[in-house]
Amino acid sequence: DIQMTQSPSTLSASVGDRVTITCRASQSVSKWLAWYQQKPGKAPKLLIYKASSLESGVPSRFRGSGSGTEFTLTISSLQPDDVATYYCQEYNSYSWTFGLGTRVEIK
Amino acid sequence: EVQLVESGGDLIQPGGSLRLSCVASGFAVSDTYMNWVRQAPGKGLEWVSVIYSDGSTHYADSVKGRFTISRDNSKNTLYFQMNSLRAEDTAVYYCARGGTLLWGQGTLVTVSS
């Protein structure tokens, strides 16, 4: 099974800061990597698919990059509405694997 | 509108059974692969099962032999039959489309006496 290592587990930054979350796969998942935002009591919201494609309606301050085993989600200018937990997900294999999540807080 | 709507979650006693449904709109569940993903309270996301367009299925070890994924093409609905439920199966269950990713809003299953 593919393992997804996501870091950091918690991140505290100021409004306007650039924020980066990293996800590393134990084997290549090619471009089949998604990023989700989840707020308490809500379903995960798709932000990025195929590693770098922005889902319709998602603000352009969210950017995904990477391929193979190393991936990054960048928020170019952190906003109060971005407080949430973020998950990476590989969907290259039949059994999807998720990172453990990164909780993003405002300092 | 392209969407997935789950239902069927409930409070159920250990050892009991429950069937979840996921109605798809805007696409055919038979044309793609469909998944169930769950999230225990305060925990992360866990994939549990998939059904492919050819009908083949796979399960996480944690539910293998107890849960069954299926679909009714005429109703464009995905199902998840859950038997021999345990306390550790307590979670919000999401159905999710593969390929072009799409998730439902989830349905809560609570296993408790």
Which residues does residue A25 pair with via DSSP β-bridges, in sequence order? A4
Which chain B residue lies closest to A44 (C-alpha atoms)? B103
Query: Mind listing the pLDDT tens digit for each residue in A53-94?
Result: 999 999 999 999 999 999 999 999 999 999 999 999 999 988
Query: Are B71 and B6 in contact, with CB atoms under 8 Å apart?
Result: no
CB pairs under 8 A between A and B: 39
Query: Mind listing the pLDDT tens digit for each residue in B52-71?
Result: 999 999 999 999 999 999 99
Query: Mind listing the pLDDT tens digit for each residue in B76-100?
Result: 999 999 999 999 999 999 999 998 9
Interface of A with B (CB under 8 A): 34, 43-44, 46, 49, 87, 89, 91, 94-101
From A43, A96, A100, residue closest to B47, measured CB to CB: A96
- Dihedral angle sign, alpha carbons of residues B23, A94, B57, B31: positive
Query: Mind listing the pLDDT tens digit for each residue in A88-105?
Result: 999 998 889 999 999 999
- Please report the beta strands in B13-90, taking only residues with DSSP state E, as ranges in sequence order: 18-25, 34-39, 45-51, 57-59, 67-72, 77-82
